[in-house]
Structure 1
Amino acid sequence: MMSESNTIVPVNNNGEVPVSAATNDGAANKTAPSPLVSIVVIAYNHLNYTKQCIESIYQYTSHIDFELITINNGSTDGTEEYFNSLPNTRKINFPENIGVCKAINHGFRIAKGKYTLNVSNDIVVTTRWLDNLLICMESNPKIGMAVPVCDASCNYQQIYLPYQDLEDMQVQAEIYNVSNPDFWEERLKLCTYAGIYRTDLQKSLGGFDEDFNPGSYDDDAICFSIRRRGFKVILAKDTFVHHYGACSFNIEYEKDNTLLYRNKATFMRKFGVNPYVAGLIDYNVLNILTYNGTKDVNILGLGGSYGTTVLQLKNFCKSHGSKNVGLYYFSEHPGNMIELNTICDDCMYGTMETLEERFGSRQYDYIILESDSNQLTQKTELFTILFRLLSAGGQLVCTASSPELYEEILEIFTQLGAELERHENQYYLCFTKDGKNDSEEREDV
């Protein structure tokens, strides 16, 4: 059900919402209960897409208590008139485009719901889209935000559904959208075409960081800020929405082709992290592994990454039925510890001599050596320690950058009694430790 609120929020001559307008919706609403969700839709032209977005929200969300906040960000194609014609909405109108971050934040500031959800105007929502996102958010108070998958995105958030048109898409989405916690993936960062946030959290952050206005790397920044506050960032792979794909924001890139570079530099200055590197998942590592559906799994990563690949391995283990997955990391770089601490059960920066002391209290089903093996000065010693930490039937992945190194690593593990189960072009090597139950059915991850 939609919360009753029919307030047009004015803006001043500078295109800003006065504080009084953002905090006082009139006497009729002072005693009204807060809605469960505040849905914020921002539009800059593309009225045809905007209408599809709004109509889909009404059609597939009417049973949920929500308020709709529409933001016309300087459109010239009738968007303002269309938004003003909608019932039961709170409306913000800017005479000129003030940038995505600033415009969304005006809506975020006046949100009354327990949750705030931003929806791009080129999104078409689907059956149970918000039901599933709410199930995810309500499942754990440490989940700070969640985003559904779609059919047009980067950052490994895109899936394929076999449909011919929007009507067929809705049929396929109804089949697909079945809530399943096994398909909630914890991530370091997400694209936020349709992101749900805890309202108290997004307000404490000040919404999207306006230093990134008009946009680009602003979604990376809010994800990093949320994780550094101790919350999780979740890709809800059990939920699909249709996304036409960056229709409004492409205009910003056309206006300023230096925007990406400037905002990337801003991100690196603020967080000390290369956002592109932080988002890379090495699927070659994940695809060389096999999995037997063990209930409890421990993963140990070693190297110089932010843990993105081993975090995705944890997600894969969950999707194959593991309920308890422990994630641990031994880092080469002290500067990576901030991010690793947000995703790991335990992590440390140190020398090889401290590895077994810190992580030797358990055995690991997966050990992923992300370091360049060619740079290791004590290969035999390190591999011997890792082999001791590997559980019976466990798998260890490392890399060999030359045929000579491949032969050297193969000889070390042969002497340790390990079996080379798989390799990819003699570069990615996957070893297993004797003791695997051969009767267990194993399937590719």
Structure 2
Amino acid sequence: MKTSIIVLTHNQLTYTKKCIESIRKYTSLDYELIIVDNASQDGTVDYLKKQSDLLVIFNKENVGFAKGNNQAMRIVSGDVVVFLNNDVVVTAGWLEPLINTLFSSKKIAMTGPVTNNDNVNGLQKIQVDYNQDTLEGISEFSKQYCAKHVHMSKRVLRLVGFALACKKEVLNTIGLFDESFGIGNYEDDDLCLRALIKGYELRIVKDSFVHHFGRITFKESKINYSHLMIKNKTKFNKKWGFDVHKYLHPHSNLIAIMPKSISRVLDINCGMGALAIELINQIECKVVGIEKNDQVIRFAQKQLSQVLHHDVETIEISEDTLGKYDCIICNDILQHLKDPWTIVKQLSGLLHKDGYLIILIHNVNHLEVMTELLQGYFSYKNVGPLNKQHLRFFTKTTIPTLFPPEMLIEKIIPIHMHVPDKIMEFVDEIVELGQKYGLKTNDLFDDITTNQFLIKARKIVDI
């Protein structure tokens, strides 16, 4: 089996040399290396012309990430295509795990390695202890990390294009990169979504490590990265009909609080299935999803075995229609409902005894709300505790009113936000002033710096 590795260059000769040299040194499988140069002017062109083992396409202008990779796709001869940024350095044994995982199932369309860089998918980033500037210690780190995670991978909804392995036959089915994204950003996300909507899976391969310096071309080309991101994000969301990145990653706090001995889970407001997929990765449980958004549910239905297209306030919540569960998740949904109290009561009836209800809910006793009220405002927004779609509002004190007597709250975990020092001083003064006048403000700082509460409640009586 042959692999076609595609690398785009636009100046940054030093990084390009490191990338190519690492590929030559650490790639033992049969491969071809295709370079597409986007009008470099720093000696990159002369360097590439002297390399006899490369297939090179020279462009007279910077045609961008999508078009450059698509040009290379016209001449690839491999069964596997790996898209690499020129500011990466591969490590020993990097390619074999990517390919082995890629062909471990017909369902898998793409695989990606773990990496060091903060700018990529949070699920692909790992903590590293080598020098990320000089790369001193990278070989030993990679060797040890990959040895601890041999044959391990996890299913996700997003892989980043800095190092992306794809089956060529899948690319022939879903199409190549969308060139309307121009210079770069979001074309890799778009490619992933086209794979997902066809029912394919994406996997992070934990025993493949690739170092990524990150955004080198953008930085040195003086491209307005923030403007480009906003422009392409708008284009991306318009193409797919919803704010995609809101649904791509599971909430890490929800995962951490989940009981481990569960076999059947109901995920209300399941989105594209990110949380359900991570639960399956970690616990191997059966997850049933409920989602009402027409655009979002298309992805969940392709990724999960059972997804119900319903509004939780209109569906019949009974054991006959939905069955029984070990755990039910209400992820950022209750504040959107007309009568969350009744819904929670009905959901508790679907739990086995000692089953859990996990709730993530916004805190209205929040700094953003307090500072608005102090200035005479209550401004609804698109996100946060003042989301214009919220119908009900809760604080740490009023959250317990949601639960019927058969449910015992075991944990209420605050999810804090960062607070600037000046605001901290302001809050401290309010606390002191409140105490002076007999108000219960001892816990005010913790409460108003809490963006959301995570609640874990257990059913102690089977009614």
Instruction: Provide the TM-score with structure 1 as the length reference.
Output: 0.79
Secondary structure of 2:349 counterpart: helix
Q: How do residues 49-68 of structure 1 correspond to structure 2 at under 5 angstroms?
A: 49-62=15-28, 64-68=29-33
Deviation at 1:90? 1.7
- Note if contact 1:214-1:252 (Cα within 8 Å) is conserved in structure 2: no
Q: How do residues 10-409 of structure 1 correspond to structure 2 at under 5 angstroms?
A: 35-62=1-28, 64-152=29-117, 153-156=119-122, 157-164=124-131, 165-178=134-147, 183-250=152-219, 254=223, 258-292=227-261, 297-303=263-269, 305-315=271-281, 317=282, 322=283, 324-351=284-311, 352=313, 354-356=315-317, 360=321, 362-398=323-359, 399=361, 401=363, 409=399
Q: 1:433, 1:183 → 2: CA distance? A: 35
Q: Which amino acid aligns with 1:334?
A: D
- Note if contact 1:108-1:203 (Cα within 8 Å) is conserved in structure 2: no
Summarize the Cα distance change of 1:259–1:114 in structure 2 as closer, same or farther, 3 Å threshold. Answer: same
Summarize the Cα distance change of 1:261–1:252 in structure 2 as closer, same or farther, 3 Å threshold. Answer: farther
Deviation at 1:162? 1.1
Deviation at 1:117? 0.3
Q: 1:267, 1:400 → 2: CA distance? A: 28
Secondary structure of 1:113 counterpart: coil
Q: What RMSD in Å do the two structures reach over aligned CA positions?
A: 2.8
Point out the more displaced range, 137-146 or 356-365: 356-365
Q: Which amino acid aligns with 2:336?
A: Q
Summarize the Cα distance change of 1:357–1:202 in structure 2 as closer, same or farther, 3 Å threshold. Answer: farther
Q: 1:135, 1:388 → 2: CA distance? A: 45
Q: 2:148, 2:349 → 1: CA distance? A: 39
Q: Which amino acid aligns with 2:201?
A: K
- The partner residue of 2:412 within 420, 423, 440 is 423
- Note if contact 2:70-2:176 (Cα within 8 Å) is conserved in structure 1: yes
Secondary structure of 1:367 counterpart: strand
Q: 1:136, 1:421 → 2: CA distance? A: 40
Secondary structure of 1:235 counterpart: strand
Summarize the Cα distance change of 1:59–1:247 in structure 2 as closer, same or farther, 3 Å threshold. Answer: same
Question: What CA deviation, in whole Å up to 9, does each residue of 1:98-151 have, x standing for no partner?
Answer: 211111111122211111001111111112211111121011111111111211
- Note if contact 1:330-1:355 (Cα within 8 Å) is conserved in structure 2: no
Q: 1:213, 1:422 → 2: CA distance? A: 48
- Note if contact 1:46-1:77 (Cα within 8 Å) is conserved in structure 2: yes
Unaligned runs of 5+ in 2: 366-393, 415-446, 448-452
Q: 2:273, 2:150 → 1: CA distance? A: 22
Secondary structure of 1:139 counterpart: coil
Q: 1:407, 1:414 → 2: CA distance? A: 15
Summarize the Cα distance change of 1:37–1:365 in structure 2 as closer, same or farther, 3 Å threshold. Answer: farther
Question: What CA deviation, in whole Å up to 9, does each residue of 1:227-282 have, x standing for no partner?
Answer: 11221122223322111112113456625764223222221222112133233542
Question: What CA deviation, in whole Å up to 9, does each residue of 1:283-313 have, x standing for no partner?
Answer: 2322333424x6xx33321127433334333
Q: 1:390, 1:283 → 2: CA distance? A: 23
Instruction: Provide the TM-score with structure 2 as the length reference.
Output: 0.76
Question: What CA deviation, in whole Å up to 9, does each residue of 1:30-68 have, x standing for no partner?
Answer: xxxxx5211111111111111111111111112x11111
Question: What CA deviation, in whole Å up to 9, does each residue of 1:145-169 have, x standing for no partner?
Answer: 1111211133312111111342411
- Note if contact 1:149-1:159 (Cα within 8 Å) is conserved in structure 2: yes
1:413 partnered with 2:403: yes
Summarize the Cα distance change of 1:105–1:250 in structure 2 as closer, same or farther, 3 Å threshold. Answer: farther
Deviation at 1:405? 6.0
Residue 28 of structure 1 corresponds to none
- Note if contact 2:150-2:206 (Cα within 8 Å) is conserved in structure 1: no
Question: What CA deviation, in whole Å up to 9, does each residue of 1:82-107 have, x standing for no partner?
Answer: 22332332221123222111111111
Summarize the Cα distance change of 1:106–1:273 in structure 2 as closer, same or farther, 3 Å threshold. Answer: same
Q: Which amino acid aligns with 1:329?
A: G
- Note if contact 2:270-2:289 (Cα within 8 Å) is conserved in structure 1: no
Secondary structure of 2:347 counterpart: helix
Secondary structure of 2:215 counterpart: coil
Q: Which amino acid aligns with 1:176?
A: Y
Secondary structure of 1:338 counterpart: helix
Deviation at 1:345? 1.5
Q: 2:336, 2:237 → 1: CA distance? A: 27
Deviation at 1:73? 1.7
Summarize the Cα distance change of 1:396–1:380 in structure 2 as closer, same or farther, 3 Å threshold. Answer: same
Residue 18 of structure 1 corresponds to none
Number of residue pairs the alignment of both structures matches: 391
Point out the more displaced range, 387-396 or 143-152: 387-396
Q: Which amino acid aligns with 1:140?
A: S
Q: 2:80, 2:349 → 1: CA distance? A: 47
Residue 438 of structure 1 corresponds to none
Deviation at 1:343? 2.1
- Note if contact 1:162-1:172 (Cα within 8 Å) is conserved in structure 2: yes
Question: What CA deviation, in whole Å up to 9, does each residue of 1:386-418 have, x standing for no partner?
Answer: 223334443321136358665565355351x22
